[in-house]
Structure 1
Amino acid sequence: MAESVHSSAPHIYNATTYDDLVDWGNQPDSLEGQSHSSGRLVHKGPNNQPESGIWVCTPGRWRLSIPRDEFCHFVAGKAVYRSDDGEVVEVEAGTVVMFPGGWTGECTVIETMRNIYMLV
């Protein structure tokens, strides 16, 4: 089975292992290492809302600012998110996180992570 991102209900089979990913380049605002991102967009609505897809990122650490509410289901790897307020969110396969728009801090990817996400 293959993906069908042009369907009336866009979908990708086997999202946890799907490997036809697009190179999204190095993670911006790097603090340590060279995290590299790749992924596959499943759907992007009008004005880019909502946006959903698969994101894979290699180890490293960088600053981040979440522009809109983002629901993340981590299906592989390990990472630590630290908010500017000092909150720590550790993620691994099976973790689900709802980052609110405006969340700022940094991310440290320990093991290459795979995230199925929806940005709204």
Structure 2
Amino acid sequence: MSSAPHLSEISTRTDLTDWGLQPDMIEGQSHSSGMLVHKGPDNRPEIGAWVCTPGRWRLTIPRDEFCYFVQGRAVYRSDAGESIEVTPGTAVLFPAGWVGECTVEETLRNTYYLTDREPES
């Protein structure tokens, strides 16, 4: 047990948990796996690693989520029309309530931090 939970070798880890198919698929059959580093009370905050195979689906970000991508390629398109291309080395802060689609072109690997903050009413 570490006093500072952490992940190493994220780009080559194989000891990931199967998280199943992405919900709300539009095209393909994206499959997710990952590893939790930390979950706070009521699962807030949540920190971990995520891997996802190619496909396209709808998504709504429930709480502010910071992602740092270490492998793969994808495009996130907001319902407002913005496109965010991600490749290795890209960092993105998706605000709570962000709505759109994700198209994974090459299997993604990222680390993420899902905060406590929910969308403002």
Instruction: Give the TM-score normalised by the residue count of structure 2.
Output: 0.92
Matched position secondary structure for 1:14: coil
What's the CA shift for 1:10?
1.0
Residues of 1 paired with 2:7 and 2:85: CA distance? 27
The CA distance in 2 between the partners of 1:102 and 1:39, in whole Å, is 23
Of all paired residues, the percent bearing the same amino acid is: 70
Equivalent residue of 1:32, what SS? strand
Task: Report the number of matched residues.
Answer: 115
Match of 1:22 in 2: 17
Is 2:77 the partner of 1:103? Answer: no
1:74-93 mapped onto 2 (5 Å cutoff): 74-93=69-88
C-alpha distance in structure 2 between counterparts of 1:23 and 1:51, whole Å: 17
TM-score, normalised with respect to structure 1 = 0.93
Q: Please list every run of 5 or more consecutive structure 2 residues that lacks an aligned counterpart in the other structure.
A: 116-121
The superposition leaves residues 8-42 of structure 1 with CA deviations (integer Å, 9 ceiling, x where unpaired) of 21122212221100000000000000000000011
Residue in 2 that maps onto 1:61: 56
Deviations 1:40-71 (A, max 9, x none): 01100112111010100000000000000000
Unaligned runs of 5+ in 1: 1-5
Distance 2:73 2:49 in 1: 16
RMSD: 0.8
Runs of 4+ aligned residues of structure 1 deviating over 4 Å after TM superposition are none
